[in-house]
Amino acid sequence: MAGFLTTHVLDTARGCPAEGLRITLYRIENDARVHLAETVTNADGRTDAPILPANAFAPGVYELVFAAGDYLRTTGQAGAEPLFLDTVPIRFGISDGDSHYHVPLLLSPHGYSTYRGS
């Protein structure tokens, strides 16, 4: 298998990369989450390395969990508690073990979107 998984986060409310946002990756096995990795975005809103590199990449169901609330609090965008968006989970499937999967997050205090990027 030569595939790998990357992600990045863009702060659409401020129009910039979301630096310092914690991301956790899980593999879903029999309805349980198995912790695989944790990282923090850099100044470009990306991780310094693939969050799931080629040597650990395999088809299956995964979940990226973005600590959006912590980021929004740090950047002064949080608003009143409880936050509308605090933890943002994105569950997705990997079917091709030889492909690059890129799962970005476009984030604002009151909404987000994702897609399979390149």
What pLDDT, on the 0 to 100 scale, is given for residue 115? 97
Provide the pLDDT confidence category of residue 1 given band limits of 50, 70 and 90: low
Residue-wise pLDDT for 50-100, tens only, equals 999 989 899 999 999 999 999 999 999 998 999 999 999 999 999 999 999
| Residue with the two structure tokens 């991301």 | 23
pTM of the predicted model, to two decimals? 0.95
- Say how far apart CA 73 and CA 23 lie, in whole Å: 16
52 neighbors 4 (Cβ within 8 angstroms):
yes
Here the tokens at position 28 are 């879903």
For residue 96, how many C-alpha atoms fall within 13 Å in the half-sphere facing its CB?
6
